[in-house]
Chain A
Amino acid sequence: GQQVMQIPQYQHVQEGEDFTTYCNSSTTLSNIQWYKQRPGGHPVFLIQLVKSGEVKKQKRLTFQFGEAKKNSSLHITATQTTDVGTYFCAGRAGGTSYGKLTFGQGTILTVHP
């Protein structure tokens, strides 16, 4: 079945440093979504990428979707303490625009002030 691998599992940074998490799928994806889960909270949708090579930005966050639609990354510039949480990627199998998402293991981000 489809597998989505995410690295690193943990990342500790000093406030102001950059942070990147990577997501790789065993199969071609129809689209990929990114979520943020604060400690004790539930996943909150950040963005969806659909097109090959797509790049989207949300303030300090930059999301990329690979040309082969099998990998993606989330980059945060100049982290802040409010960025703390677990970042999950979730992919949908190729050929479907809806249906179940397969979640990566998540990257737990800790930001030291």
Chain B
Amino acid sequence: GAVVSQHPSWVICKSGTSVKIECRSLDFQATTMFWYRQFPKQSLMLMATSNEGSKATYEQGVEKDKFLINHASLTLSTLTVTSAHPEDSSFYICSASTPGDTQYFGPGTRLTVL
């Protein structure tokens, strides 16, 4: 099956710093990538949808200036959490898909902001 990687798998940072998370589709070209956030024992909340070469579409309530998404190629999307605060601590998961296909999820990145 299709493989999606995420880097880093976990990160601890100080409040006020920015953190970049990479999402890569390893064996297929993903026209669309999705970024989710998951709190402990809760469901996945879609943050934004990104299409290669265009601006990301953010879900209601998600600050686009705080969560910067770049989808520079068909195999790479990045999420940058700017000026992170403790309330941004969460499990961030990306998924990649092609039109009409399944979403393949990355292993997730656990962010802890001190």
Contacts and interface: CB of A to CB of B under 8 A. Distances in A.
Interface of A: 33, 35, 41-45, 48, 88, 97-106, 108
Interface of B: 1, 32, 34, 41-46, 49, 93, 97-108
Given A33-B102, A98-B32, A98-B97, A42 B43 contact: no
B103 A42 contact: no
B94 to A, nearest CB: 10
Nearest to B99: A98
10 contacts: A42-B106, A48-B102, A100-B34, A103-B43, A103-B44, A103-B46, A105-B42, A106-B42, A106-B43, A108-B41
Contact of B104 (A45, A100, A103, A104): A45
Nearest to A47: B102
Contact of A101 (B41, B42, B93, B103): B103
Given A98-B32, A100-B34, A100-B49, A43 B99 contact: no
